[in-house]
Amino acid sequence: MRSQASTLVYDLADRMRTNVSSANSNFYSVAAANVAVNANCNTTAGCTPQQMAQSDLAEWNTVIASHLPLGQGIVCVDSSPDDGTSAAAPQCDGLGSQFSIKLWWDDNRDGIINMTATNTERFVISFRL
């Protein structure tokens, strides 16, 4: 599952790299409840960069939910990215210019996401655009 988490995190990072203006405007740092797939983003009619960011997040969250048990992810600006216990408590400080994509899941399928010294069910990358 860690390999799948890695693939999912890098997928969103690549989407952000192709939509830098939205990333720098923090349009990728919104709650999952505020995003929806915009069908126009996949047509020649197109959509705005903000709509693209929201559509990217909606698609990403759908894939996370279907590929990782209890999967949840978040994008934020964070100067100390290797923390947080869930998307509800990501511990993002909003400092600096480094984006972090954090993803959590239930690796052993016991119904909870375990964040202990021996069982870290979190994958994080940080990058600058």
Mean per-residue pLDDT over the chain, rounded: 90
Question: What is the C-alpha separation between 45 and 43, in angstroms, rounded?
Answer: 5
7-62 pLDDT, tens digit each: 999 999 999 999 999 999 999 987 766 788 999 998 888 899 999 999 999 999 99
Sheet holding 72-77, edge to edge: 72-77, 99-104, 122-127
- pLDDT value of position 118: 62
In the predicted model, is pLDDT for residue 117 greater than 70?
no
* Predicted confidence (pLDDT) at residue 97 exceeds the cutoff of 70: yes
